Structure 1
Amino acid sequence: MDNSKILKAFNERSKNTLMETLNIEYVDVGEDFLTAKMSVNSRVHQPYGQLHGGATAALAESVGSAASNFFIDSKSQFINGIQLSINHIKSKREGVVFATAKNVHKGKTTHLWEVTIVDEDRNLISVAKMTNIVLEKRK
């Protein structure tokens, strides 16, 4: 499957979900990474007019969870996030942020991702660590 088809499939799955509400769009994929972007505006602000840490965490978890789908058999398995740790480095009021998930550990039952969030000028906004568990679908 080519990259444009992969990105289209991820974006289609985001319809009517939190990802659509937050305007998260998957924009780039490679052998060892997945990147999504999110607009920074009043929809994702906290009361002081800055990017809400929860919206940033939702972006990190979305891209980290989606990336794990590359390593499973989606017919018989699915992914659940079991741990997210995020450090916010810099505030952001407007523009765009990009979250890139890179695999740290790919086990049979757990996946560990490092998610780096930068703005359009490549300023570091947040860094997250995400752990997913691989579960078997019930028949």
Structure 2
Amino acid sequence: MDNSEILKAFNKRSKNTLMETLDIEYVAIGEDFLTAKMPVNSRVHQPYGQLHGGATAALAESVGSAASNFFIDNKSQFINGIQLSINHIKSKREGVVFATAKNIHKGRTTHLWEVTIVDEEENLISVAKMTNIVLDIRK
């Protein structure tokens, strides 16, 4: 499966989920990263008209969790996020933000990701660290 097919599959899997609600779309993939984008508009604003930190955290967790799927046997294992820490650096009122998850640690039972969120002008919006646990599917 080539990268465009992988991205299509990830986006298809997002139907009827929070990712679809927030209009998150996976847009780029490489050997050690996954990038998704999310529009910034009133749907993801807090009451003061700025990007809600919770929406940013949902974007970070979505891309960090999805990225771990490349390192597991999807027929017998699945991923759960167990820790997310995020620092918000700059506010954003409109446009698009891009979250890129890069692997820091790929263990047998845990994965650690750094997720950097930037806007369309490469301004740093937020930085997150996410830990995932690899679990076996119970039959």
TM interval, shorter chain, is over 0.9
* Structure 1 Cα separation of the partners of residues 74 and 28 of structure 2: 21
* Structure 2 Cα separation of the partners of residues 134 and 71 of structure 1: 9
SS of equivalent residue, structure 2 residue 15: coil
* Structure 2 Cα separation of the partners of residues 133 and 17 of structure 1: 21
Shift of 1:19: 0.1
- Name structure 2 gaps, 5 residues minimum: none
Shift of 1:48: 0.0
The alignment status of 1:85 with 2:115, answered yes or no, reads no
- Name structure 1 gaps, 5 residues minimum: none
TM-score by length of 1: 1.00
Shift of 1:131: 0.1
Counterpart position of 1:107? 107
Shift of 1:32: 0.5
Tell me the C-alpha RMSD between the 2 structures.
0.2
SS of equivalent residue, structure 2 residue 8: helix
Task: Encode CA deviations 1:43-78: one digit per residue, 9 max, x unaligned.
Answer: 000000000000000000000000000000000000
* Structure 1 Cα separation of the partners of residues 117 and 16 of structure 2: 24
Shift of 1:117: 0.1
* Structure 2 Cα separation of the partners of residues 136 and 96 of structure 1: 36
* Structure 2 Cα separation of the partners of residues 61 and 132 of structure 1: 10
SS of equivalent residue, structure 1 residue 83: strand
* Structure 2 Cα separation of the partners of residues 94 and 110 of structure 1: 35
SS of equivalent residue, structure 2 residue 63: helix
Shift of 1:36: 0.0
SS of equivalent residue, structure 2 residue 66: helix
SS of equivalent residue, structure 2 residue 12: helix
Runs of 4+ in 1 over 6 A off after TM superposition: none
Shift of 1:80: 0.1
TM-score by length of 2: 1.00
Q: Identity of counterpart residues, as a percentage?
A: 91
Counterpart position of 2:30? 30
* Structure 2 Cα separation of the partners of residues 78 and 12 of structure 1: 18
* Structure 1 Cα separation of the partners of residues 74 and 32 of structure 2: 18
